[in-house]
Amino acid sequence: MLPGILSAALITGCASIESFHAAPRNVCTGDIVNVTWQAKGTVELRSTPPAHQTSASSSEGSAQFVVQESTRFALRASRLFSKKTALADVVMVARESKEFGDLAQCESPAEGVGLALVLKDPQVSSALQVATVTNMNARPIVLRKENVRVAIMPGQTSSAFSTQPAAGAWEITAALNPRETCDEALAELHDRLSIRIAFSCRE
């Protein structure tokens, strides 16, 4: 590389992608997906299958797309001799299921272990409803959402939350066994509580 070109490249800097997001990540047919990006360089946005294609005049921006199927968005930034690419997927989840969970904690008083699980954008679309919920834990749980409370055995699937929005606050509680400490329960659960939600879409 010639000294003048090298100097210009060092001053201008290389292409980079600081952030690239598509939300919500789990969608229904006809949902609007918001794609946002922040990059350095000339930016090109593509999607597979094709939903829209643009060479953005600004390296920072956003765009909205109506999706009819699972879609992968690709952002490409280029500047001088450097190029960067980032990917963001949105998944059509109707009639599919997805596991959600997090680290559990001891409840006070120590009567069990629990998890407050909040699902919201960008995890799930507001159009997603619950079809069924499956207990993915090694022991029974009590699952609560809004005015519904149900006990679910390990591996069991319940339709008690059918037609409720998937988004919102879920409470998962697992009781302690006789003479069991909370730390022992957490160890058996690998410190984690989770549920698998099968989705449907609002009519």
Residue 11 confidence (pLDDT)? 43
The domain that holds 135 is classified in CATH as 2.60.120
Domain boundary among 27, 58, 92: 92
Task: Provide the domain count of the chain.
Answer: 2
Query: Of 65, 92, 119, which one is at a domain's C-terminal end?
Result: 92
pLDDT category at 30 given cuts 50, 70, 90 is confident
pLDDT at 56 over 60: no
Instruction: Show the domain range for 41.
Output: 15-92
| Percent with pLDDT over 90 in the chain | 48
Q: What are phi and psi of 160, to 5 degrees?
A: -65, -25
Pair of tokens at residue 13: 């800097």
Instruction: Please indicate, yes or no, if residue 72 is contained in any of the structural domains.
Output: yes
Q: Count the neighbouring beta carbons within 10 Å of the beta carbon of residue 58.
A: 10
Residues 81 and 47 in one domain: yes
Strand partners, 38: 19, 60
What is the pTM assigned to this prediction? 0.65
Assess whether 101 and 187 both reside in one domain.
yes
> pLDDT digit string (tens) for 126-173?
888 899 999 999 999 999 999 999 999 999 999 999 989 999 999 999
Same domain, 112 and 197: yes
